[in-house]
Structure 1
Amino acid sequence: MPGAAEVEGGAQPRDVVTFFVSGFTRAPAGPVEAVFFLLAPSRGAFSPPPQEADAVLLPDQEVLVLDDTEPTGDSICAFQGGASSPARPLGRLPASGLHAYVCRLPEPAQSFQQLQAPLLLHSSTSSAAAAAPDPPSPSPGRALLNWSSDPIVFDSALLDGGDVLVFAKGISRRQGLRCLYRYSDGADTMRASTPAISSVQQVTRCPSPPTPVKSGGSTKVLVTLGVTGEDPMPSLATFRRQQAESSSLTPHKSSICACTMGRNISKFLREWALYHSAIGVDQFFIYDNGSEDNLAGLVAQLISSGLNITTVPWPWTKVQEAGLSHCVATQQASCQWMAVIDVDEFIFSTSWAGLEKPSKSLLEPVISVDDSVGQIYLACYDFAPSGQTAHPPEGVCQGYTCRLKNPQRHKSLVRLDAVEPSLMNVVHHFKLKPAFKSIWTVLARINHYKYQAWSEFKVKFKRRVSAYVADWKDPINLDSKDRAPGLGVDDTEPKGWAQRYCEVKDNILQLLTARWFGVGFGNPH
């Protein structure tokens, strides 16, 4: 095979047969086998070794650093030229076990044309470094990747079935795409290469590499992507073999879970989680996009009150679809249905209006569908500012009480075992296996508290989380339903904002939640 090196043992294996059509994969007609090229560094020619990285320059002059040291005190990023800045911990990445930190790129360091990855210093080390006459500088050769311009493999996930999900941005070619692994086996550094199973959007599915013979199953594995004869993509992604991220050991599969992604969502999370738990959502998965509002503290409080919440650090920029793919793929053993919604979206039925108290069985009629149904669409009704000029202390579903007349978009309840293995999605819904279909339901809807008080709504102008939705300051796709009608690209509060979009009075959920939980139930007491 062109570009392939000698195979250990001297045999020439049969390659995996994969067909690519516009980023999708089609199953081959006959049985195939996933065969790897296994190579030691000294064994013949091979595509250039993967470039392992541990730091990347994000938008807004922020630097993300991955480190194996658990945060126990203050940390700093030391940059070339002697400049430094505080490092804020973001959490532990599930696949690699590495801890993510973010720090500002100091102005003096911004003048360097070739930036090096900063040196991360912890506690007493950082104090000593700050007092030293010659502060430490990063080692030469540790390049700082650039999120905005570089193709990057940024994360991975090892699944129960053995496949590896590889998350990457900037893939230039999918035809002939290969999965490349590097790991240690005793004193030897091994490399493995195999064709990708599928590759769509920012998600590539790969066969798992062979288990190391000498060092056992806990070996750290670097994974990246490449095309034969070309340099592999730089990679931040590693994983360990000892345990898949899928929850195969979960003793009970929940009927309904919810997955969401957000940044600085603490003021909304309590109300959203308490409400959905009361109507039948069993587990919550929060993909934290770099929050600075003590989200971890709030989640700990909610867990202590009996809610089942898992927080997954997801520090990457504009990769919401990849994060939801990660959630759906890794939770197939723990959840039957997943509500893919945001924290300003509440599943609701007008048929509940007369109920004196909530019930965890309220959503059961919605998911009681034919076995061929793999996805249920819920219409979204967008609520208006409703005269509010600040975040309502009673919460969103009691503070916003009018809306646009007609639904604008939809969100979904997706049956996880029906999702097509490529994990193709457009945030609101997933591509399904051929045996399954999607249906609309009239048994429930989404109350989407989209147009909030301007102090909250203007945050949407900073950056949209979807990879395929334009940031609102960019003058493109101005008619997109993701945007606010007539608002344009200016983040200055328009005249009369508090009275906009109020076509229909709708206070059903306001009255219902006050009866069920009391006024302001989402606020800490």
Structure 2
Amino acid sequence: MDSSEPRRKRKRLLRQSTATAISPLLTVRSFLLCLCFLLFVYLLSFKIPIAPSSFRPVLVVSSFSLLSSSSSNGVESLPGVDRFLLPRIEGRVLFPDHILLLVRKNGLPVHEKLECVYPSRESQISAHVLSSDDYDQSRVIFRCPLPPGNSSAAAAAAASLRKVGGKPVVKGRRNQTAVVASWDSVVYAAALDGDSAVVFVKGLNLRRDRESSPRWFSCHFWLGKKMKEEDRRRVEVLQTRAVTAAQEVVRCQLPASIKDSPEEALGGRVTVGTMMTAPRGSRRVEEGRRFLFPSVAEVSRVESGGGGKQHGLCACTMVWNQAPALREWITYHAWLGVERWFIYDNNSDDAIEDVIYDPEMRNFNVTRHVWPWIKTQEAGFSHCALRAKSECDWVAFMDVDEFFYLPYSSPHYQFRKPGYASENALRDLVRNVSLSSPGTLGEIRTACHSYGPSGLDRPPAQGVMVGYTCRVKSPERHKSIVRPDAVDPTLLNVVHHFRLKKGFRFMDTPQGTAVINHYKYQVWEVFRAKFFRRVATYVADWTENQNEGSRDRAPGLGTEAIEPPNWRLQFCEVWDTGLRDFVLANFADSSTGFLPWETSPQYEQ
């Protein structure tokens, strides 16, 4: 007994000392295991986001990988964190001559000097940003040149931004193998219209002048941005059927879950599915029956909303580098009664903002809408019809080289008072014409006279209306003033006119009542700019050897920007000084003879 007691004491002491030695080892081991687990979760989140939000145009299994990445991930949604994060590139679109980056704002200075950066095997390649702009309420756009010819396609797909010679200013996609969306196959815009969404798609390849069957198409909405915080681990993708399809526009019903509160779709991503030929860069879903287009589109609200229609007559146009022409076009038509202008800016780089927001233009209600999508004039006009619907009774869709002319009116002419046109004469004419067919008139068409260079070699100092006075004898085509709430749900148009809802009709304006002077063939230094690109979707560029005999081309003009012999004397069959004389009588300063728009740079001697 006496000898066993010391042995028991030694065993207890040994167990205690062993436990004491192991205890710190367990603590260190537990810490290391926890650290490894957290590191594993962190690395895993790059491949499988815990709060899925990055839908990219990459070739992966997920059908909604075709959507560009969103900024609404778990970290960025936390209050007070946004200001510490770099803005995120949400989409890249590859155009024939540049790359468009769509970037979440997050305080990004749009006009700061930045450069485009492309990764390469040896080192990064950089180039100056071509231009930048505010695109919508939440995003800005940057245009980057294509990387050098020996660069890989992956370099274009991974284009990013940084301060000149400095650090990155945006956060790119984590998956740098993502392919950039090609401009010939992409969903590029979407707008809320009542209980439906209007989606704009490049690559549908539908007929120019007719509606297509909507049964081939569907819309796919990602509503993760609107989900409750406790549901953020779940991405909600809802599919609805298309109700109309025409040209580049697909209209779809909103998901049933948000039909009573359509505003929940705002800011959400959307793409279009098709059961026709697979678009470039698309992904197959539904067991191979349907393909989804890559998408950079967010559902936006384009109507101003509230207050009812404020303007009797508005005007919509799409321009590229037409800043010098705007002052004359707006000032003159304001005198005739146009109250509101929607200027869709199609990648201008001629300081158009300086003209629109010049203090001398502050009395005109003009807004500029950035529209970076090339050769989409028909789609742009459809978009403008949606935008103007809540504000305007009537909208004139025309170019900035087109001017309404209301000649001297004899007593037997319809819809106008006898004599010369007075202020607001065009708006009064539209009202009188609409009253002649109450409730059924949806469009007023006016014939166009095409004017030539009129013997000039340089832009006329007093503007196009005074300078160009010789035209082609017969009218060419027409342009229209449209009642936006009478436009067919397809929004189908051929630039010159829209398809109307059933029950509505159009009317041709008698030429003695009104015509449009179209200064189509101006002096060569102005006209040759058209060779860069034409804005209409279904009209061949001047450099393309297509439709050479059509009215969309200049007779006798080839596919190269080479001035034809005697250009200044062409397209001159009738000398017509009617509008010139009217402008000088009503707009010239009585003491100096100057016209209001002569300060525009184009008209300086």
Pairwise CA distance, 1:106 = 3.1
**Against the structure 1 CA distance between its residues 193 and 50, is the aligned structure 2 distance closer, same or farther, given a 3 Å change threshold?**
farther
1:152 to 186, 195, 199: 186
Instruction: Find the counterpart in structure 1 of residue 273 from structure 2.
Output: 226
Pairwise CA distance, 1:162 = 2.9
Instruction: Find the counterpart in structure 2 of residue 49 from structure 1.
Output: 64
TM score, norm. by length of structure 2: 0.72
Instruction: Find the counterpart in structure 1 of residue 429 from structure 2.
Output: 365
Once the two structures are overlaid, the 10-residue window that deviates more, 83-92 or 409-418, is 83-92
1:121 aligns with 2:121: no
1:418 aligns with 2:503: no
Instruction: Find the counterpart in structure 2 of residue 176 from structure 1.
Output: 216
Matches within 5 A, 1:380-399: 380-399=448-467
Instruction: Find the counterpart in structure 2 of residue 253 from structure 1.
Output: 310
Instruction: Find the counterpart in structure 1 of residue 469 from structure 2.
Output: 401
- Deviations along 1:425-484, one digit per CA (max 9) or x if unpaired, are 000000001101111011211100000000111111221111111112211111111111
In 2, the alpha carbon distance for the partners of 1:300 and 1:138 equals: 40
Identical amino acids, percent of aligned pairs:
34
5+ residue gaps, structure 2 = 1-51, 54-60, 69-90, 207-213, 275-285, 411-417, 589-593, 601-605
**Against the structure 1 CA distance between its residues 250 and 273, is the aligned structure 2 distance closer, same or farther, given a 3 Å change threshold?**
farther
Equivalent pair of 1:48/1:232 in contact (CA under 8 Å): yes
Equivalent pair of 1:212/1:219 in contact (CA under 8 Å): no
In 1, the alpha carbon distance for the partners of 2:174 and 2:125 equals: 11
In 2, the alpha carbon distance for the partners of 1:274 and 1:472 equals: 31
Instruction: Find the counterpart in structure 2 of residue 197 from structure 1.
Output: 243
Instruction: Find the counterpart in structure 2 of residue 298 from structure 1.
Output: 355
Which has the larger strand fraction? Answer: 1
Pairwise CA distance, 1:88 = 4.2
Partner SS, residue 107 of structure 1: coil
The alignment yields a C-alpha RMSD, in angstroms, of 2.8
Instruction: Find the counterpart in structure 2 of residue 164 from structure 1.
Output: 197
In 1, the alpha carbon distance for the partners of 2:309 and 2:482 equals: 19
- Deviations along 1:256-283, one digit per CA (max 9) or x if unpaired, are 1000001111110000000001100010
Partner SS, residue 514 of structure 1: helix
Pairwise CA distance, 1:252 = 4.2
Instruction: Find the counterpart in structure 1 of residue 581 from structure 2.
Output: 511
Residue 363 of structure 2 aligns to which amino acid in structure 1? G
Pairwise CA distance, 1:117 = 2.8
Partner SS, residue 597 of structure 2: coil
Residue 48 of structure 1 aligns to which amino acid in structure 2? S
1:76 to 95, 115, 118: 115
In 2, the alpha carbon distance for the partners of 1:499 and 1:377 equals: 30
Partner SS, residue 368 of structure 1: helix
1:101 to 122, 126, 142: 142
1:521 aligns with 2:596: yes
Equivalent pair of 1:374/1:436 in contact (CA under 8 Å): yes
**Against the structure 1 CA distance between its residues 406 and 93, is the aligned structure 2 distance closer, same or farther, given a 3 Å change threshold?**
same
In 1, the alpha carbon distance for the partners of 2:490 and 2:94 equals: 29
Equivalent pair of 2:457/2:523 in contact (CA under 8 Å): yes
| Deviant stretches of 4+, over 6 Å | 352-357
5+ residue gaps, structure 1 = 1-39, 131-135
Q: How many residues were matched structurally?
A: 465
Equivalent pair of 2:534/2:541 in contact (CA under 8 Å): yes
Pairwise CA distance, 1:183 = 2.6
1:487 aligns with 2:560: no
Matches within 5 A, 1:338-487: 338-351=395-408, 358-369=422-433, 370-371=437-438, 372-442=440-510, 443-487=513-557
Once the two structures are overlaid, the 10-residue window that deviates more, 201-210 or 277-286, is 201-210
Instruction: Find the counterpart in structure 1 of residue 386 from structure 2.
Output: 329
Partner SS, residue 101 of structure 1: strand
Pairwise CA distance, 1:520 = 3.9
Equivalent pair of 2:446/2:480 in contact (CA under 8 Å): yes
Pairwise CA distance, 1:158 = 1.6
Once the two structures are overlaid, the 10-residue window that deviates more, 173-182 or 381-390, is 173-182
Pairwise CA distance, 1:68 = 1.7
Equivalent pair of 1:80/1:138 in contact (CA under 8 Å): no
- Deviations along 1:370-393, one digit per CA (max 9) or x if unpaired, are 121111110000001011112222
Once the two structures are overlaid, the 10-residue window that deviates more, 348-357 or 502-511, is 348-357
Residue 121 of structure 1 aligns to which amino acid in structure 2? L
In 2, the alpha carbon distance for the partners of 1:212 and 1:117 equals: 36
TM score, norm. by length of structure 1: 0.82
Pairwise CA distance, 1:217 = 3.8
In 2, the alpha carbon distance for the partners of 1:378 and 1:238 equals: 36
Instruction: Find the counterpart in structure 2 of residue 236 from structure 1.
Output: 296
